[in-house]
Every structure is written in C-alpha cells, then in structure tokens.
A and B are shown apart, each in its own frame.
Chain A
Amino acid sequence: MSRILLILLLCLGLAPSQPALAIDPMAFKDRAEEVRFQKLVRELRCLQCQNQTLADSDAEIAKQLREEVFRKMQEGLSDREIEDFLVARYGEFVLYRPRVESSTALLWFGPFVLLALGAVLLVLHFRKRARQAPAATAVAQTEEEW
C-alpha cells in the first residue's frame, strides 16, 4: 500500500493534477504538418499518466515529448522513425497502436480466428438443420410470422 502511495507521490511531484489539457500552439509550416503532428501525438502514450495520450496530458514528460516529436518532424524523420526513437528509450509501451509481432498475435489475430470459428459453426449448424427437412414449409406472411 505504501508503495502505491510513493508512486502517487512521484506522479504528483511532476505536475498538479489537471484534466486532459495540453494546449501548445506550435509553429507548423502548414496545415498538413499540423494534422500529421496531431495524429502522431494521439497515438503516443504519456508514460507518467494514468492512460492519456501525449496530446491530452499536461504532465511535464508529455510536454517534453511533444516538443521532441515536433523537433524530430522538423528534422525530417518519418512517422516510423519517430516512433522507433521513442520505443528505443521507453519501450513499446509508448505506442497506443501495438505493433504486429508474434507477441501480439492474440491481439491482432485472435478475434478473426474466433470469427472464422463462429462462421464455420454457423454454416455447419444450419446445413445440418436444413438436411433434416429439405422442404421447409413457408410460413404465411401474417402477423403470426412475426
């Protein structure tokens, strides 16, 4: 319990608790650059916060990393290179979009495996039912059929 308290102190040590608000006018060359920046910082995590993006957090580290992302954009790095820069220092935790790797197979492929399984079961189930009585008598289109 005291451990958690200390970690909380750690967080408090950096910024007063504020709601998601990180308004930083930056000198963008054009609208396209601004949109690209917004997209990038929305997909990067504030490491010190309880689940906020770099775009939304007011924490010191978030401000620093936003400026870093902007600087790297000015230096001409691609989106992937900027992400790699941050991942090298903070790990994959900093990305809100998990990379498609063997370790994230459950995430990216699991639901589709389940879906395929469901589809197969559905088709098999109804094929079997249909075989039981090939000529299904049509139900009259009255209120009863509802």
Chain B
Amino acid sequence: MWRALIPLIVFALIGALLWSGIGNDPTLVPSPLVGKPAPEFSAPVLNEPQRSISKQDLLGQPYLLNVFASWCPACRVEHPVLNDYAQRGELTIYGLNYKDLPEDANRWLAQFGNPYAGILVDPEGRIGLDFGVYGAPETFVIDAQGTIVYKHIGPLTPADIETKIKPLLQGDRSS
C-alpha cells in the first residue's frame, strides 16, 4: 500500500532539509538595509573634533565603511588586507571607530596601520545602531548614490574583496 511509504517520504524530506543546513553559519545575520539608502549620519573626525564627515560629504563615489575598534581582535586579522588595498588605491575606505576611546584608537592605528581616507568617531555606537551593526569588524559597501549595496560580517579577506566587493564597485563605476 502506498500509504506505508508516507513515513519514509516525510523522513527523506526532513533529511534533505538537514543536509542543506550543513556547513552554513547560522550566526550570520543578514542586513535588511542592503539595497536601501544608507542611514543619514554625521560624526566628528578622529583627532579633529571640530571637523565632521556626513553622508552628504561622501556622495559621488563608492566607498567602504569599515567598523573597527581597538578592543576587537578580529580587526587586527583583516587590517593588513585593508592597508594593502588602500595603499594600492584600489579601494576608498572610511573607518567607523565603534565604541572606542580616541587614545586607544590612535595607539591601535599607530601599531597596525591606517588605511582610512577618514575616520568617524562613534563612541556610543549610535551610528552603528542605525546601520544595524552588532559586532566588529563589519564592512558596508556604499555606492555613489549613498545606497548600501553589500554588508560583510567578519574580517575581510582578499578573496572576499575580489569576488564580492570589486564586482559591485565595477558595476557602479561604469554606470
């Protein structure tokens, strides 16, 4: 009787579902802001508190907004990669110093390098909150119109940049 096959079929479906889950990282939280305009922000610049950078200021060309902090160990892992790409002029990177103290940030940058075109200071994490930041490092790719086209969670590797980020920037530049 075909009814006797129903349990086996149900089990096969569940098994397939479990199979599909293997190897995924369930801790990654995708951002609902991808494809939407970046939230309005304006923050003082590190070491120049009288100067500030806002979203308006950065329109017109695509850039990366990299969330980093001196207390974040994984940020050290990705930093040489950022230094590399910034030095070669391939990427424009702005830093968001997240929940940090200026003196700690300065010390950290002095030790690990400074790839940033500019560094915004976010001591309370308010800008981070608007961007949906929940840890560090995180990197947002924002296009010339100020739309978030990609969010990367965790340290950036050259592979990530070549395969995921550069194509998005290419598309933007040519348009």
Contacts and interface: CB of A to CB of B under 8 A. Distances in A.
Interface of A: 3-4, 6-7, 9-14, 47-48, 50, 60-61, 64-65, 68, 87-93
B41 interface: no
A6 B99 contact: no
Interface string B37-77: 00000000000000000000000000000000001111101
Contacts of B33: 89
B135 interface: yes
A60 B134 CA distance: 9
Nearest to B33: A89
B134 A90 contact: yes
Interface residues of B, number: 27
Contacts of B71: 13-14
B31 interface: yes
Nearest to A14: B135
Given A14-B136, A48-B134, A50-B27, A6 B32 contact: no
Interface in B60-118: 71-75, 77, 99
Nearest to B72: A13
A23 B137 CA distance: 27
A87 to B, nearest CB: 7
Interface stretch (B123-131, B139-147, B161-169): B123-131
A87 B27 CA distance: 17
Contacts of A50: 27
